[in-house]
Chains A and B, each alone.
Chain A
Amino acid sequence: MADKALEGVKVLEYASFVTGPYCSKLLADLGAEVIKIERPGGGDEARCRGPFLNDIPHPERSGLFLYLNTNKLGITLDPETQTGKKIFLELLKWADILIEDKPPREMEGIGLTYDKLKEINPQLIMTSITPFGQFGPYQDYKAYNLNIPHGAGGGYLTPGGSPNAEREPLKGGGFFDDHIAGLSAATVTVIAFYHRIKTGSGQHVDVSKQEALMALNRTEITNYPNMDTIATRVVGSSALGRRPPPCQNGYVQIAALLDWHWVSFKEFMGNPRWAQDTKFDTLDGRSEYGNEMNDNIEEWTRGHTKEEIFHGLQGRGVPTAMICNAAEVMSSPQYEERGFFVEVEHPEMGKVVCPRGLGILSRTPWALEHPAPLLGQHNREVYTRLLGYTREDMVRMREAGVI
Chain B
Amino acid sequence: MTGRVLEGIRAVEFGQFYVGPYTSEALAYFGAEVIKVESIRRPDPTRWFGSTGGPDPKIIILTDPNKSVGFNELNLNKLSVNLDLTKPKAVELAKKIAEVSDVIVENNRPGVLDRLGLSYEAIREVKPDIIYLSASCRGSTGPERNYAGFAPIFGSLGGLSEITGYADGPPAPPIGGRTDIVCGTANAFSIITALIHREMTGKGQYIDNSDSEVISCLVWDTIMDYNLNGRIQTRRGNKDDIFAPHDCYRCKGEDDWISIAISNDEEWRAFAGAIGNPDWAKEERFQDAYLRKKNEEELDRLISQWTISHTKYEVMDILQKAGVAAVHSFSSKDFFSDPHLKERGAFTEVEHPVIGRLTVMNPPWKLSATPAEIVRHAPLFGEHNNYVFGELLGMSQEEIKALMDEQVIY
Contacts of A265 in B (CB 8 A): none
Contacts of A258 in B (CB 8 A): 45
Tell me the smallest distance from the CB of A156 to a CB of chain B, in Å.
5
Is B108 interfacial (CB-CB < 8 Å)?
A: no
Tell me the smallest distance from the CB of B377 to a CB of chain A, in Å.
12
Contact: A253 with B152, CB < 8 Å?
A: yes
- Stretch of B254-262, B291-299, B393-401 contacting A (4+ beta carbons < 8 Å): B254-262
Q: How many residues of chain A have a CB within 8 Å of chain B?
A: 159
Contact: A144 with B243, CB < 8 Å?
A: yes
Contacts of A354 in B (CB 8 A): 220, 224
Contacts of A318 in B (CB 8 A): 148
Contact: A153 with B361, CB < 8 Å?
A: no
Is B70 interfacial (CB-CB < 8 Å)?
A: yes
Contacts of A205 in B (CB 8 A): 365-368
Is B11 interfacial (CB-CB < 8 Å)?
A: no
Contacts of A233 in B (CB 8 A): 175
Is B128 interfacial (CB-CB < 8 Å)?
A: no
Tell me the smallest distance from the CB of A111 to a CB of chain B, in Å.
18
Tell me the smallest distance from the CB of B368 to a CB of chain A, in Å.
4
Q: Which residue of B lies closest to A365 (CB)?
A: B205
What is the CA–CA distance of A122 and B93 in the complex, to the nearest angstrom? 45
Complex interface residues of chain A between 101 and 154 (CB less than 8 A to chain B): 114, 132-138, 141-148, 150-154
Contacts of A227 in B (CB 8 A): 51, 53-54, 57, 69
Label chain B's interface by main secondary structure.
Answer: mixed
Contacts of A135 in B (CB 8 A): 343-344
Is A197 interfacial (CB-CB < 8 Å)?
A: yes
Contact: A337 with B143, CB < 8 Å?
A: yes
Complex A-B: 21 CB contacts under 8 Å? A63-B227, A66-B224, A160-B174, A160-B175, A167-B166, A170-B166, A173-B163, A194-B196, A203-B369, A204-B369, A205-B368, A211-B365, A226-B359, A255-B149, A283-B61, A319-B137, A321-B154, A324-B162, A329-B216, A360-B207, A362-B205
Contact: A225 with B359, CB < 8 Å?
A: yes
Tell me the smallest distance from the CB of B172 to a CB of chain A, in Å.
3
Q: How many residues of chain B have a CB within 8 Å of chain A?
A: 160
| Most B Cβ at <10 Å: residue of A64, A158, A226, A258 | A226
Is A155 interfacial (CB-CB < 8 Å)?
A: yes
Contacts of B77 in A (CB 8 A): none
Tell me the smallest distance from the CB of A321 to a CB of chain B, in Å.
4
Is B189 interfacial (CB-CB < 8 Å)?
A: yes
What is the CA–CA distance of A362 and B333 in the complex, to the nearest angstrom? 44
Is B234 interfacial (CB-CB < 8 Å)?
A: yes
From the candidates B53, B170, B243, name the one contacting A228 in the complex (CB within 8 A): B53
Contact: A5 with B194, CB < 8 Å?
A: yes
From the candidates A51, A231, A321, name the one contacting B176 in the complex (CB within 8 A): A231
Tell me the smallest distance from the CB of B210 to a CB of chain A, in Å.
7
Q: Which residue of A lies closest to B8 (CB)?
A: A198
Contact: B54 with A319, CB < 8 Å?
A: no
Contact: B219 with A174, CB < 8 Å?
A: yes
Contact with A along B155-168 (1 / 0, CB 8 A): 11111111111100
